[in-house]
């Protein structure tokens, strides 16, 4: 840490006007650390450039810079936060307590075998409920969350804090608690009470960190149904979710078709597409490139808050729409009377900065990595389901024979490809990349086969035209796929920009249209 501070100090000295160099050098002349080679070359180039231009000598005989050094309050704030977190680590540890308040907890002692060969010997699921379970236990709605949401969708007696779907749940509401018993969980892999990377591995008493196994949406759903088993709930009245929850809602019906009555999926997809995978990839990369991430082993140290902040800023860009921001922010600057700056300056920049800053210590970074990767892996196509079933069968056989781990470390031997990009033969893409790619005439047959088990389930599929993360065509694909699979009870709703400009976040904000259509569908 001392070496890091020395570099920060040296960098600050280098950015100060030349007239301060003599005093600064005198104070720090005892430092023996040489600048990095690239820095030395940069300094030499800078000196060379300065000797070619006109020089203005001061009384001390030193040249003044042409312009004053720029201030970087955003970086100062970042350094200050790191220093504060480091000081806190000396006493109680800097890792925040990721909690949304008091929840119910289900502990499962039975191992959970995962789609990609991993295993959780035991696990916890944090959950909350609203409404009353009827005698037949036939009025249950399982509410699935988005990526970073907790189980706290609505306030409870023990936790009166408003939930993330507060206005959608309640007596007479979209999820009418006079009629339904609503259950919402924090997914496994999360950090709000359910078992995830920040949890303790019972095998050695240490945090899982990146020893946590790769997850899928289906793994999360299987864990939820373990909870339903414990509650004695055999069949859901409905599986409801938006965003990642919309993906899980479909997966619940595919995995347990006989245990799900109807399905509502908002702003989701039946298979992850390249654009959303790309956006989540960039978020993971900026997080993993934060030195404080330390390959996932940052617990009991300073968490990678800078990487988390940047990841959230990227995510926020995809959550809302350009037309909404045009109305809210336009091209206005926070303070037009000041010089433009490289730190947040436009109102949209300050908005993103605030969104990242607010989130960076509210969610476990490793959970972001694992849960977002599970979203990328999501594909309800028949071939993916078949391959997963084969892996699970082999894994179950190993586990039954007492060999809980694979014989080799093939699952952890990923390397970067020798060729970074190559057209795949099955993509039907033109060899000339300047030619347009032909649009398909409908959903692939593999996806139709994969959703065939949902042909008897009434389904509500909702999308939003202004959504850039899960574009409306992806919800049209779900609806068309279900219909081609033989489902004659598909309701498809698409909100145009004249109705909602909130983009992907419409499912959190549009009570009238999202909530109204959902209430009508549930009956």
Residue positions annotated with a catalytic role? 243, 467, 504
Angle (CA) 255-511-263 rounded to 5° is 15
Tokens 């949304």 sit at which residue?
A: 100
DSSP state of 344: S
Instruction: Concatenate the DSSP letters of all residues of 32-91 into one string.
Output: -PPPPHHHHHHHHHHHHHHHHS---B-TTSPBPPSSPPPP-HHHHHHHHHHHHHHHHHTT
First to last CA, the chain: 60
Whole-angstrom distance, CA of residue 298 vs CA of residue 336: 40
Taking CB atoms within 8 Å and a gap of at least 24, the contacts of 512-515 are: 514/168, 514/242, 514/266, 514/462, 515/167, 515/168, 515/173, 515/174
Which of 416, 394, 415, 414 shows the shortest CA–CA distance to 405? 394
Host H or E run for residue 306: helix 305-319
Beta-carbon contacts of 427 under 8 Å, excluding residues fewer than 6 positions away, are none
Q: 3-class SS at 1? A: coil
| Burial call 151-174: b when 16+ CB within 10 Å, e when fewer | bbbbbbeebeeebbbeebbbeebb
Residues 6 or more apart whose CB falls under 8 angstroms from that of 80 comprise none
Rounded Cα distance between 312 and 307, Å, is 9
Q: Which of 508, 523, 515, 509 is nearest to 149 (CA)?
A: 508
Query: What distance in Å separates the CA atoms of residue 354 and residue 158, rounded to the nearest whole number?
Result: 30
CA distance 277 to 244: 13
Best CA proximity match to 257, nearest among 50, 455, 474? 455
Pick from 223, 255, 228, 226: which is nearest to 133 by CA? Answer: 228
Pair of tokens at residue 288: 């993993």
- Rounded to whole angstroms, how far apart are CA atoms 278 and 448? 25
- CA-based radius of gyration for the chain: 27
The percent of the chain in helix, strand and coil, each rounded to the nearest 5, is 45, 10, 45
Q: DSSP readout, 208-254?
A: -GGGSPP--HHHHHHHHHHHHHHTT---EEEEEEETHHHHHHHHHHH
Q: Is 91 exposed, middle or buried (0-12, 13-18, 19+ CB in 10 A)?
A: exposed
């Amino acid at each position: 840490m001392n070496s890091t501070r020395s570099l920060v100090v040296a960098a600050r000295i280098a950015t100060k006007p030349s007239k301060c160099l003599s005093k600064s050098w005198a104070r720090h002349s005892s430092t023996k650390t040489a600048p990095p080679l690239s820095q030395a070359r940069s300094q030499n180039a800078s000196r060379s450039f300065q000797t070619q231009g006109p020089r203005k000598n001061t009384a001390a005989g030193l040249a003044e810079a042409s312009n004053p050094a720029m201030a970087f309050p955003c970086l100062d704030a970042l350094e200050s936060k790191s220093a504060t977190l480091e000081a806190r680590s000396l006493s109680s540890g800097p890792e925040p307590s990721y909690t949304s308040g008091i929840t119910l907890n289900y502990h499962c002692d039975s191992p959970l075998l995962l789609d990609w060969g991993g295993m959780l010997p035991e696990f916890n699921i944090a959950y909350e409920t609203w409404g009353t379970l009827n005698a037949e236990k036939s009025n249950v709605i399982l509410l699935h969350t988005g990526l970073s949401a907790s189980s706290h969708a609505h306030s409870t007696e023990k936790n009166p804090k408003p939930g993330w779907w507060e206005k959608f749940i309640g007596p007479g509401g979209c999820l009418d608690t006079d009629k339904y018993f609503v259950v919402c969980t924090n997914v496994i892999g999360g950090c709000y009470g359910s078992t995830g990377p920040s949890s303790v591995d019972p095998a050695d008493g240490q945090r899982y960190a990146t020893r946590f196994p790769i997850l899928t949406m289906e793994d999360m759903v299987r864990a939820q149904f373990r909870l339903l088993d414990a509650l004695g709930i055999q069949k859901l009245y409905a599986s409801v979710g938006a965003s990642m929850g919309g993906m899980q809602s479909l997966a619940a019906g595919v995995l347990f078709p006989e245990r799900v009555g109807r399905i509502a999926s908002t702003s989701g997809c039946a298979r992850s597409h390249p654009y959303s995978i790309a956006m989540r990839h960039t978020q993971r990369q900026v997080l993993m490139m934060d030195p404080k991430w330390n390959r996932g082993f940052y617990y009991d140290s300073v968490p990678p808050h800078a990487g988390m902040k940047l990841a959230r800023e990227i995510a926020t860009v995809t959550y809302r729409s350009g037309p909404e921001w045009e109305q809210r922010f336009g091209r206005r600057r926070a303070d037009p009377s000041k010089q433009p700056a490289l730190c947040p300056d436009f109102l949209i920049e300050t908005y993103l900065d605030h969104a990242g800053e607010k989130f960076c210590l509210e969610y476990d970074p490793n959970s972001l990595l694992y849960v977002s990767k599970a979203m990328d892996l999501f594909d309800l196509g028949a071939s993916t389901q078949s391959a997963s079933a084969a892996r699970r069968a082999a894994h179950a056989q190993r586990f039954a024979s007492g060999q809980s781990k694979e014989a080799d470390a093939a699952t952890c031997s990923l390397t970067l490809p020798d060729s970074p990009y190559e057209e795949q033969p099955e993509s039907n893409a033109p060899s000339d990349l300047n030619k347009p790619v032909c649009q398909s005439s409908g959903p692939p047959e593999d996806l139709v086969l994969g959703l065939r088990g949902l042909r008897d389930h009434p389904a509500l599929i909702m999308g939003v035209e202004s959504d850039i993360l899960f574009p409306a065509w992806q919800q049209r694909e779900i609806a068309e796929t279900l219909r081609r699979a033989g489902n004659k009870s598909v309701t498809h709703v698409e909100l145009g920009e004249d109705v909602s400009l909130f983009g992907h976040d419409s499912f959190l904000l549009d009570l009238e249209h999202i909530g109204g259509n959902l209430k009508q569908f549930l009956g």
